[in-house]
Amino acid sequence: MDFELNDEQRLLQDTVRRFVDDRVLPNAIENDIRHHLDLDAIEGMAELGILGIVIPEEYGGAGLDHICEALACEEIERGEAAFRTLISVHVGLNSLSLLRYASEEQKQRWLVAQARGEKLACFGLTEPAAGSDVAAMKTTARREGDTYVLNGSKNWISYANVADHALVFAKTDPAARHKGISAFVLERGMDGFTTADTENKLGIWAGSTGELFFENVEVPAENLIGEEGQGFEIAMYGLDQGRFTVAAGACGVIRACLERSVEYARERETFGQAIGKYQFVQDMLAEMILGYETSKLLVLQAAWMKDQGIRNTRETSLAKWHATESAFRAAHLAIQVHGAYGYSAEYGIERYFRNARAPIIYEGTTQVHKMMQAEHALGYRRLNGRDGDVSPICSWAPALAPVQRGAIPTGA
């Protein structure tokens, strides 16, 4: 079992780390306090190829592997969660969905510009009454000749008010529930398609979150991705990709909290000695170490499976659940290590705490991921959908083979 990074992966890691140190961290606290989206930093990410990191070169991307994507997400979120969120929605949810399901003409029209970072993209799935229950969405798309007429809205959409392209999901057959959902690409400027910012969020103040509104938007039939009724499948595939980047980014939060806490524990003295000498402080640092290394191992396992072409819904779910919970725990402990300074915006530790809360909710709540893991183990859900492939280190899975033959999938 080889854990060594190759030269390409090391170079990518070092390059993104320097970018974060030079271009992100110096302004991170100020941008957070001002609720300022640093578009110059996003332009820098595009120049590095991060906005098309795993997209093949033939479509304008960097053509790197998923281990490189994980390393990039970790380094980026060590600096600012808003920029890792962009990787999640632009690359994971949108571009990789287009790479798999779009026609060649559609890839040339939208994917190439996205992979080059010339256009930004978002993913329009969540609605006021449809989060974990995707089939409850109210947005509809009615076919009229060579167009679909969309009506409805989406909320909690990252980069909604900034993105040039939106991969939007709507019901073409409302009576068919999840089997009646279809996917479309909408472009900013279409008549009836408007966006708005979401204000007063707990965290990710330096990012962009908003709403999408559709009022009789006439979308050309050629903007349909895949087939009618294939939207749920596309959305679940996209979530597999997005969840992976969320998990990888969470490793960056844990590492940032650990590094900052170790540095502070060495320097801060009470009662005549560094606080790092106290076992209670050591206990908190040890928890961060455990959270970081276990989370990263789960992320790298999922990355390896992606690069091998093995279905990894279960493994990605496990990584997302564990890493995001570990990140929030690490941020909580880092505030405790720093005491009152951790509570102050001046040190930036509380920023990690606020930013780490949202990933426990979006792209599958912790409770949804726990349910998925249990249902896989119980045989109520086929391991990784129809394929049944699992990580080779998952020794308990083969014992489920007889059960799995008769299982009825409860989701993708």
Question: How many CB atoms are located within 10 Å of the residue 266 CB?
Answer: 12
Under 8 Å between Cβ of 203 and 361: no
Rounded to an integer, what is the distance from CA 31 to the centroid of its chain? 21
State phi, psi for 398 to the nearest 5 degrees: -60, -30
DSSP-assigned letter for residue 152: E
The residue written with tokens 């991170």 in the block is 28
Question: How many CB atoms are located within 10 Å of the residue 387 CB?
Answer: 12
Residues in CB range of 111: below 8 A, 6 or more apart: 55, 59, 60, 95, 98, 99, 102
List helix spans (H) across 230-312.
231-267, 279-308
Distances from the Cα of 130 to the Cαs of 86, 93, 180, 263, 385, in angstroms? 22, 17, 15, 43, 22
**Active-site option among 69, 80, 315, 363:** 363
List helix spans (H) across 103-214.
104-106, 112-115
Residue 363 is among the residues annotated as catalytic for this protein: yes
Under 8 Å between Cβ of 47 and 62: no
- What residues are labeled active site? 363
